Structure 1
Amino acid sequence: MTLDEPSGGEGGGDGFSRVHPLSPFIRGGLVVIAVFGYVLSQQIDRVVGAAGPPAPGEGETSLLVPAVLVLLTVVGAVLLGLLSWWFTRYRLGDTGLEMHSGAIMRQHRQVRYDRIQAVDLVRPLLARMTGLSEVRVESAGGGDSHVSIAYLRHTDAEAVRARLLGLAAEAQQPTPSPGPEGGMGSPDSRAELARPKGGPVPPAGPEGPWPGRGAAEPAVPLLRVPVERLIASVLLSWDTIFFLALLCLALVLTFVDLGVVIGGFLPVVLITGMRSIIRLTRWYGLTVALRGQTLTSQRGLTDTRHSSVPLQRVQALEVQQPVLWRRAGWWTLKVNVAGARIASADGDSGESVLVPVATTDEVLRLLEAVTADPVTTAEVASLVADTPEGFVGVPSAARWFHPFARRRIGYLPGRRAVLTRSGWLDRVLQVVPWGRIQSMTLQQGPLDRRLDLASVQFLSTVGPVRPRVEHLSTDDAQRLAHLAAARASHARRRSSGPVGCDPTPDTVDWP
């Protein structure tokens, strides 16, 4: 038995539905635009470069060949697009989402509901212009187990996303003990709740498709990044400094009659400018909210995204403050999320930057939401403000490696997590819950051995956060390794909450 769901087209009597017919053309739209742009530029060059009247028959031939090429390209793209659309189908089955694709090389992908970690809604520019959206489903498995449904009508995509969230929450709930026949605890009644046999699609409103399934929790707003702050953060970046340096160099070269060299700077200038523009358009209008045990965010100017980060998948956090942001008190918040992020149908990959720029109070509020532990948040605040009691720094011998930042480098063994601090120009704070530490590595190079120093690296999942404490004394490094092993083992045994910083009472005295 399968679920009746909104679809972009009929898929037959097997319960599968096709995506919207425009989907392949949205994915390949840039290629078609590039072909037309190339042909158009060739024609402009012919017109501009014509020095005299064409020879008999030359004008007709020069226009006929490009026209035939464009026609063949369009026809080929349409046929390939229709073939791709015909063989791309999806279904919300009894136990998971299924996706069929491929005309020659057939592919069948499936994600079980109990393995779903996040369901995001993505709207690239071409999709927005045509009223379509992409549904990204991220699972707890490897990258091959992720599925992207691209593209559906926006209302249908919202309904599919809401239903997937409801089914995932239902599948991940502990199975209650069987009750009397026909009661609410019986398997038949639970199946009836989760798998309606026809009828209208449940509304995808703020309460989700089925109230009380995890998707129905109201969203608690946590953060909204003003556009003015986002623009200021881009201007106060190293890209802007580099751009201004190139501009000054270009003025100097022009003044000494070496302006011909400026053309070599053009690619670098374009790349730098594009990085700033992409940052602005990607994070425009960012809002972050907490819905149950999931952080949700909405952002984007040209490509809008509705993303979610399950708290139980967060393995490590990092807040970074560039030197140019220090006076304003702004930070960037990054996270390591277990499970690889999938790419969009238009080729854009995910990222693990949670917030590009936020104030200190906003960062601390987000940290408390992620860790669900005010004690860890207070420890982070103490590291931001000063060097608290219990902070273990590096010895004076480490000045040969860090002549300016030696007093800032070290770690704080927190109650629920280990907190590291480093950096001089760009300040960095890292938070790794004890229960999320997978393994540790002690590293000691030749010069380290001579100075009796060692570094400790904590193994986390793939992501931007690489927890590490450099150039501790050998005794402090070994002490940290033993401490982390003991606390990580204890935290994994007793942790019953959805987040890494288990906030339940603990009477055990740490070693």
Structure 2
Amino acid sequence: MNRLHPLSAVTYALQYGFTWLWVPVVLVLVLGGIFDPISPAWTPIAAPLGFLAGAVYGIVYYYRFEYGVTPDTFDVSSGVVARRSREIPYGRIQNVDVKQGVLQRLLGLAIVSIETAGGGNTEASLNFVSESDANRLQEQIRRRTADVKDRRRKRDREAVAADGQESAADAPNGIEGDNAALGDEDGTSLEDGVSEPRRPHRQRLFDLEARELLLYSFTSFRPAAVAAVLFVFFLATDRIIDLFVITAQPLGGPAALGEGTPTSYGILTVVSAINGILITYLLSVAYTFGTYYGFQLGRADDDFVYERGLLQRYSGSIPVEKVQSVTVTENPLQRLIGYAGLWVETAGYGPESSGGSQSAVPLAKQGRVHQFTENLTDVETPTFHSPPTLARRRYLVRYSLVATLVVAAVFALAQVTPLERWYLAAVVFAAVPPAAHLKYVHLGYFVGDDHLVIRRGFWKRRTTVIPYYRIQTVSTRRSIFQRRLGLASLVVDTASSQTFVWATPTVYDVDLEDARDVNTTGRKRLQSALRERARDDDLGLSVDFT
């Protein structure tokens, strides 16, 4: 068994020290208000004692934390009072992530996180190991995981070939019998005496070039930037408002708050909104640039592997067998310059992602992304079917109602404020026809031989390719308005996690009969695809990116 890097003892000592520091402080303050003999003046003495106790606990935790690599499992033992020992089989390991912050990179340290099947929770985390040990563990565990999966597939194929006469436990190349395959051949010895398998061949698929990184940074938006701006505004509200007032003064804004006219306040509002949007956008650009700096995508055995990050460096993998669907994403600006991105959806796991969504290609030429998508999924070039024109009329009515609510809100505001000419808000009706048309023309679906392809969205158009064997359920949904128009929406659910950002792929507003036909076809082809995969046991994912 191995221990963490010695600097981990310092980290745990500080972490638990500052956490425990507040325990005696709170006790002294609370008990001091109840019992007279206890005085709040004891706080300067209680705080160092709490810090010392926490630091001692952290150091003991470091010495009690051990990990090791065995032929069949990755073992972790931890705990001071309550001891916990975990044996993680390689067959359940989804991914080994390596993360480095700025300070950790300077010190040559890294955090290793081991994720298992069944969700995005970390099964084991090593805080901290040396950078070389982190990379060694990552490659070592990934290779052993791939070996276990290969033996499992080989055993299943042999069991099928034997027509059920040979059970999995009796297979000549079962897991137990193949442990010898992890011997010294083409491997090197480890510290704990376990032989390291041959280093997997890594094929590079995509590098994010400097020009593509800049384009991606300036043509995408990160919601985290909004949260950062709001947080800073909350901490320094008065200073930021004063800065906005000073910025608006050359354009006719008020000299100070409480000393302006309605017109000057209107100018202040507009200038402040523009400044806020500009600052948020620049933060989004910086965040995207730092997150995807040095992005590389490759393949090692049955995993897509990636590296990225400027200040914080990440490296991890996307298990190929857990890929449920792939999605091509484009916003209007990216479509204008002929670029697109590619995301993959995984089953219940998404390292550093949106709950199962992981970027495979942040941004590249549309031709390259579409070529990569076709090579990755073997999907034929889709010919999309659009919803009936009746759906466009539905969107026209929907957006007209939204515009009516906007005008009504402005009218209500004019009744309690000096706002005049509220009726100018009716200009929003001019945006209703183009909005309805743009929503309609960006909807489409394609029922292929092996895949269902769904396209939707204007501001963030997503084209999702779903293999039939990955479909969990296909359900037809109809609202009150859809029933009156004879329309229906088809919801296609996979094992990937639905998140706030990524909704379940849906074919919107098609004829009811078409929806039923797609539903029936999807079920039939799902069964055929499952039978073929049971016979071939093939991942069905190639890796060419040309």
Same structural fold, with TM-score higher than 0.5 when normalized by the shorter chain: yes
Distance 1:427 1:364 in 2: 14
Aligned partner of 1:491: which letter? A
Distance 1:502 1:491 in 2: 17
Cα 1:113–1:394 change in 2 (3 A) is same
Structure 2 spans left out of the alignment, 5+ residues = 21-41, 159-165, 167-171, 230-240, 258-267, 396-435
Cα 1:107–1:477 change in 2 (3 A) is same
Query: What are the Cα deviations for residues 83-127 of structure 1, in whole angstroms up to 9, with x where unaligned?
Result: 331232212234211222232444333321122232232222232
Partner of 1:306: 315
Pick from 270, 292, 302 the counterpart of residue 301 of structure 2: 292
- Check whether the contact 1:394–1:406 (CA below 8 A) recurs between aligned residues: yes
Distance 2:280 2:51 in 1: 31
- Check whether the contact 1:411–1:418 (CA below 8 A) recurs between aligned residues: yes
- Check whether the contact 2:217–2:285 (CA below 8 A) recurs between aligned residues: yes
What secondary structure does 2:118 align onto? coil
Distance 1:84 1:479 in 2: 60
Structure 1, 111-120 or 280-289: larger mean CA deviation: 111-120
Aligned partner of 1:194: which letter? L
2:413 equivalent to 1:426: no
Distance 2:10 2:355 in 1: 20
Task: Please give the residue correspondences for 1:404-415 in structure 2 after superposition, counting only pairs within 5 Å.
Answer: 404-415=438-449
Distance 1:408 1:186 in 2: 50
Distance 1:379 1:447 in 2: 34
Q: How far 1:172 sits from its partner (Å)?
A: 1.9
- Check whether the contact 1:114–1:172 (CA below 8 A) recurs between aligned residues: yes
Query: What are the Cα deviations for residues 286-313 of structure 1, in whole angstroms up to 9, with x where unaligned?
Result: 0112233321111111111121112111
Q: How far 1:330 sits from its partner (Å)?
A: 1.7
Query: What are the Cα deviations for residues 337-391 of structure 1, in whole angstroms up to 9, with x where unaligned?
Result: 11334679xxx988523332222133134324532x2xx1x515xxxxxxx3xx3
Q: How far 1:18 sits from its partner (Å)?
A: 2.0
Distance 2:486 2:541 in 1: 33
Pick from 234, 257, 261 the counterpart of residue 217 of structure 2: 234
Aligned partner of 2:4: which letter? V
- Check whether the contact 1:120–1:306 (CA below 8 A) recurs between aligned residues: yes
Query: What are the Cα deviations for residues 392-444 of structure 1, in whole angstroms up to 9, with x where unaligned?
Result: 22111101224333233121112221111122343221111111001111110
Partner of 2:189: 201
What secondary structure does 2:522 align onto? helix
Task: Please give the residue correspondences for 1:44-443 in structure 2 after superposition, counting only pairs within 5 Å.
Answer: 75=52, 78-143=55-120, 146-174=123-151, 190-194=178-182, 201=189, 209-211=196-198, 216-217=200-201, 219-238=202-221, 252=248, 255-257=252-254, 260=257, 273-341=282-350, 352-371=358-377, 373=378, 376=379, 378-379=380-381, 388=383, 391-399=384-392, 400-401=394-395, 402-443=436-477
Distance 1:474 1:250 in 2: 59
Distance 2:19 2:333 in 1: 39
Cα 1:392–1:170 change in 2 (3 A) is same
Cα 1:455–1:259 change in 2 (3 A) is farther
2:5 equivalent to 1:20: yes
Aligned partner of 2:208: which letter? V
Partner of 2:401: none
What secondary structure does 1:392 align onto? coil
Distance 2:245 2:538 in 1: 54
Structure 1 spans left out of the alignment, 5+ residues = 1-15, 36-64, 179-183, 381-387, 504-511
- Check whether the contact 1:440–1:457 (CA below 8 A) recurs between aligned residues: yes
Aligned partner of 1:455: which letter? S
Q: How far 1:449 sits from its partner (Å)?
A: 0.3
Distance 1:365 1:451 in 2: 38
What secondary structure does 1:393 align onto? coil
Partner of 1:467: 505
- Check whether the contact 2:93–2:117 (CA below 8 A) recurs between aligned residues: yes
Query: What are the Cα deviations for residues 163-204 of structure 1, in whole angstroms up to 9, with x where unaligned?
Result: 2122212222236799xxxxx97999843442669x96359x
Pick from 503, 509, 519 the counterpart of residue 481 of structure 1: 519
Partner of 1:61: none
Aligned partner of 1:379: which letter? T
Q: How far 1:131 sits from its partner (Å)?
A: 1.0
Structure 1, 227-236 or 415-424: larger mean CA deviation: 227-236
Q: How far 1:71 sits from its partner (Å)?
A: 5.9
TM-score when normalising by structure 1: 0.71
Sequence identity, in percent? 22
Q: How far 1:24 sits from its partner (Å)?
A: 5.9
Higher helix share: 2
- Check whether the contact 2:476–2:490 (CA below 8 A) recurs between aligned residues: yes
Partner of 2:491: 457
Partner of 2:478: 444
Cα 1:318–1:21 change in 2 (3 A) is same
Query: What are the Cα deviations for residues 31-52 of structure 1, in whole angstroms up to 9, with x where unaligned?
Result: 99999xxxxxxxxxxxxxxxxx
- How many residue pairs match? The answer is 429
Pick from 522, 526, 539 the counterpart of residue 499 of structure 1: 539
Structure with higher Rg: it is 2
Structure 1, 169-178 or 97-106: larger mean CA deviation: 169-178
- Check whether the contact 1:417–1:434 (CA below 8 A) recurs between aligned residues: yes
Cα 1:308–1:153 change in 2 (3 A) is same
Distance 2:463 2:538 in 1: 23
Distance 2:360 2:175 in 1: 39
**Cα RMSD (Å):** 4.3
Structure 1, 466-475 or 139-148: larger mean CA deviation: 139-148
Distance 1:69 1:110 in 2: 40
What secondary structure does 1:301 align onto? coil
Q: How far 1:21 sits from its partner (Å)?
A: 3.0
